[in-house]
């Protein structure tokens, strides 16, 4: 973006740009702010603005999570399942994505462009279609994959995000560092462990956190693939919203927003301090 000129900064165009930007931001943030505000209501309903502010719904959520009846509402169970799915998805994406990224960055081989295209595909592929396809696949197999059918689905859409970060970090590594390590007696696996992994750790770490958030928030694929035993938080929220609509749901949503923002801040910090180190 170029700097506004002296006349531009005070001119009508600049005012217009500023106005539109503010409006878009407001449009984006307003619903989220509303959720946040309502979650602090002292009332029983979703009335806006709230009659008074209180923490009673957070207290309620706390009881739902750790109270003696935590098993009934299934909030705790859903949260734990979602965390588990997100962690496993990150792990799968790291294990599959890091070596693949390295191969794509360093080597030329037959089918390289095909792989590159395939990896980008889930980003533009409609999740609903992917969900239906996977559901058909899972039903046809007649097996119970439990948590892993959602992990697999999330990994498919998470992999491009991990690999994009990972490949950017690896492209920043001077190949001569790897060659220097070789001449100093390091075999290929040792070069990877000693040079590539540490220098790409910022990209890998930020990619893994992104995938974690993506999986934790994901709804569409989860909706097709959840079961009675595997009931992710996004599905729990959806069902609550369809049935009870108590302000507690808004408190849970607000907590999710906080977790998301925190994760984004961590990614920013990681990229800022290590992503550019190579």
Partner 1 sequence: MEQNPVLEIRNLSRTFAHGAVRAVDQIDLDVQPGEIVSILGPSGCGKTTTMRIIAGLDLPTAGEVRILGKNVAGKPPHQRNVGLVFQSLAIFPHMSVKQNVAFGLRMQGLARNLIEAKVAKALELVQLSPEKFAGRRPSELSGGQLQRVALARTLVTEPALVLFDEPMAALDRRLRDYMAVELRSIQKQLGLAAVYVTHDQETASMMSDRVIIMNAGKILQAGTPEEIYETPNSKFVSDFLGDTNTLRIERVLEQKDGKSLVQTNAGVTIRVANSGDIGEGAFVIFRPEQTIVYPADPGGAFEGEVVSSQFRSGLHRWQIVLRGGNKLIAQSTENRLASSAGDTVWVTIDPGKARIVRQ
Binding stretches for partner 1 (CB under 8 A): 174, 176-177, 179-188, 190, 194-195, 198-199, 277-278
Smallest separation, CB 169 to partner 1 (Å): 12
Quick one: 29 or 188, whose CB is closer to partner 1? 188
φ/ψ of residue 72, rounded to 5: -75, -50
Instruction: Tell the burial category of 44 from Cβ atoms under 10 Å away from its Cβ (0-12, 13-18, 19+).
Output: exposed
- The count of C-alpha atoms lying within 13 angstroms of the C-alpha of 110, restricted to the half-sphere facing its C-beta, is 0
Smallest separation, CB 202 to partner 1 (Å): 11
Quick one: 111 or 185, whose CB is closer to partner 1? 185
Quick one: 179 or 229, whose CB is closer to partner 1? 179
Rg (CA), the chain: 23
Smallest separation, CB 174 to partner 1 (Å): 7
Quick one: 65 or 186, whose CB is closer to partner 1? 186
Smallest separation, CB 278 to partner 1 (Å): 7
53: helix, strand or coil: strand
Q: Which residues contact 114 (CB under 8 A, 6 or more apart)?
A: none
Q: Which helix (H) or strand (E) holds 231?
A: none
Smallest separation, CB 175 to partner 1 (Å): 9
- Residue in the block written with tokens 């407001």: 26
Quick one: 99 or 198, whose CB is closer to partner 1? 198
Q: Which residues contact 234 (CB under 8 A, 6 or more apart)?
A: 82, 217, 218, 219, 222, 223
């Amino acid at each position: 973006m170029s700097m506004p000129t002296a006349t531009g900064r005070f001119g009508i165009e600049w005012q217009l740009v500023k106005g539109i930007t503010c409006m878009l931001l407001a449009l984006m943030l307003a619903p989220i702010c509303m959720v946040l505000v309502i979650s602090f209501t002292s009332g029983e309903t979703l009335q806006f603005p709230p009659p008074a502010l209180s923490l009673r719904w957070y207290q309620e959520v706390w009881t739902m999570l750790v109270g003696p009846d935590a098993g009934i509402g299934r909030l705790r169970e859903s949260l734990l399942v979602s965390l588990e799915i997100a962690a496993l998805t990150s792990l799968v994406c790291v294990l599959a994505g890091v070596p693949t990224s390295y191969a794509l960055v360093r080597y030329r081989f037959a089918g390289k462009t095909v792989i590159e295209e395939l990896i980008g595909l889930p980003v533009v592929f409609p999740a609903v279609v992917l969900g239906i396809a996977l559901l058909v696949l899972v039903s046809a197999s007649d097996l119970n994959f439990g948590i892993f059918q959602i992990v697999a689905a999330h990994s498919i859409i998470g992999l491009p995000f991990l690999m994009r970060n990972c490949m950017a970090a690896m492209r920043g590594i001077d190949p001569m560092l790897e060659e220097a390590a070789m001449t100093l007696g390091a075999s290929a696996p040792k070069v990877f462990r000693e040079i590539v992994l540490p220098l790409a750790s910022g990209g890998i770490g930020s990619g893994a956190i992104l995938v974690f958030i993506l999986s934790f928030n994901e709804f569409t694929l989860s909706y097709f693939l959840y079961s009675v035993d595997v009931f992710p938080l996004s599905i729990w929220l959806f069902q609550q919203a369809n049935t009870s609509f108590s302000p507690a749901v808004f408190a849970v949503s607000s907590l999710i927003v906080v977790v998301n923002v925190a994760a984004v801040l961590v990614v920013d910090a990681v990229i800022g301090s290590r992503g550019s180190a190579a």
